[in-house]
Amino acid sequence: MADPGPRFPHDLEVEPFRIDAHDALQSTNDRARELAAEGAEDVVVVADRQTAGRGRLDRTWASPSGGIWMSLLLRPDLPVEQVPLLTFGAAVAVVDAADRLNVRAGIKWPNDVLVGDEGEERKLSGILTESSTADDGLEWAIIGVGINANVDIADLPPGSVTLSHLVGEVDRSDLTRDVLETFAELRADPDRILAGWRRRAITLGQRVSISTGEKTVTGRALDIDDTGRLLVDTSDGIVHVATGECDHLRPA
């Protein structure tokens, strides 16, 4: 029988990135940090599974074999406050790639990619961005993207969904390439990222409650500003929220 060649993620080649492929890692973000310390740039770390995947807000991220767990190490020429736009660009790229697989997804602020009807959305993908700054600004950014691709739903937390559950097993190499190529096109164009994010957002126009750790901001989500903060119309006026856990509130 013919040799089928290397399998995901070892088969990946995506210009302009160098691929750092692994069967298993603790966390692709952690590996990307090591590469950042070595001075690397435009590297995508990809693993078939993670043993200690990390999510936003210090949560764990279930990462069994079959998903797409990857981290993009970038050194963009970008003001530090615009780093969230890279995260938005990745979320847009994931939504578009899912769309090409006939999976209609939307983005819950800041960057959860969800599938399903209002009130019954389930999470398909999450993004964890980390960055380092020096005196002269941004040193590096790591955009960690998790996509529940060919994973059994039973192996994920409640509220998750997977592509294999929705449309059957997908080609992870094609999907990863699609996401990375779209991201590569978007990354230098903040205006395009913002416009793309707004079009795919399911949060705008909704009543939201955002817990920032220090306080809870409740009101109607109006828009995002040019650094990705959510503008919430509250009883105390318009508040710009940079980060937090966002819940969509049902109409009373």
Applying CB under 6 A, which of residues 9, 17, 20, 28 lies at the interface with ligand BTN?
28
d(Cα 50, Cα 165) in Å, to the nearest integer? 21
- Angle subtended at Cα 108 by Cα 107 and Cα 114, rounded to the nearest 5 degrees: 60
203 contacts ligand BTN (rule: CB under 6 A): no
Q: Identify residue 200 by its one-letter amino acid code.
A: R
Each residue 109-128 as x (binds ligand BTN by CB under 6 A) or -, in order, gives ---x-------------xxx
The smaller minimum CB distance to ligand BTN, of residues 89 and 126, is found at: 126
Using CB atoms, what's the residue nearest to ligand BTN? 126
- The DSSP code sequence of 68-104 is EEEEEEE-----GGGHHHHHHHHHHHHHHHHHTTT--
* By CB under 6 A, residue 56 contacts ligand BTN: yes
- Nearest one of 212, 227, 199 to 78, comparing CA atoms: 227
Residue with tokens 């200690």: 52
Site string (133-162) toward ligand BTN, x via CB under 6 A? -----------xxx----------------
**Smallest distance, ligand BTN to C-beta of residue 30, A:** 7
Site stretch for ligand BTN (CB under 6 A), options 69-77, 84-92, 182-190, 229-237: 69-77
Residue 166: DSSP 8-state: H
∠ CA 145-193-151, rounded to 5° = 25
For ligand BTN, which residue of 9, 53, 106, 196 counts as binding (CB under 6 A)? 53
**70 to 89, contacts with ligand BTN by CB under 6 A?**
70-71
- Paired residues of 245 in beta bridges: 211
3-state SS, residue 189 = coil
Task: Between 146 and 219, name the residue whose CB sits nearer to ligand BTN.
Answer: 146
Q: SS3 for 11?
A: coil
Q: Which stretch binds ligand BTN (CB under 6 A): 62-70, 88-96, 180-188, 192-200?
A: 62-70
At a CB cut-off of 8 Å and minimum separation 6, what does 191 contact?
A: none
Tell me how far, at minimum, the Cβ of 251 lies from ligand BTN, in Å. Answer: 26
- Rounded Cα gap, residues 87 and 16, in angstroms: 18
Instruction: Report the distance separating Cα 120 and Cα 25, nearest Å.
Output: 32
Site for ligand BTN (CB under 6 A): which residue of 17, 69, 88, 197? 69
Q: Nearest distance from residue 15's CB to ligand BTN, in Å?
A: 21
Nearer to ligand BTN, 28 or 206 (CB): 28
> Rounded to an integer, what distance in angstroms lies between the CA atom of residue 59 and that of residue 218?
23
What is the nearest approach in angstroms of ligand BTN to the Cβ of residue 73? 11
Summarize as ranges the residues that interact with ligand BTN (CB under 6 A).
27-29, 50, 53-56, 59, 61, 63, 69-71, 112, 126-128, 144-146
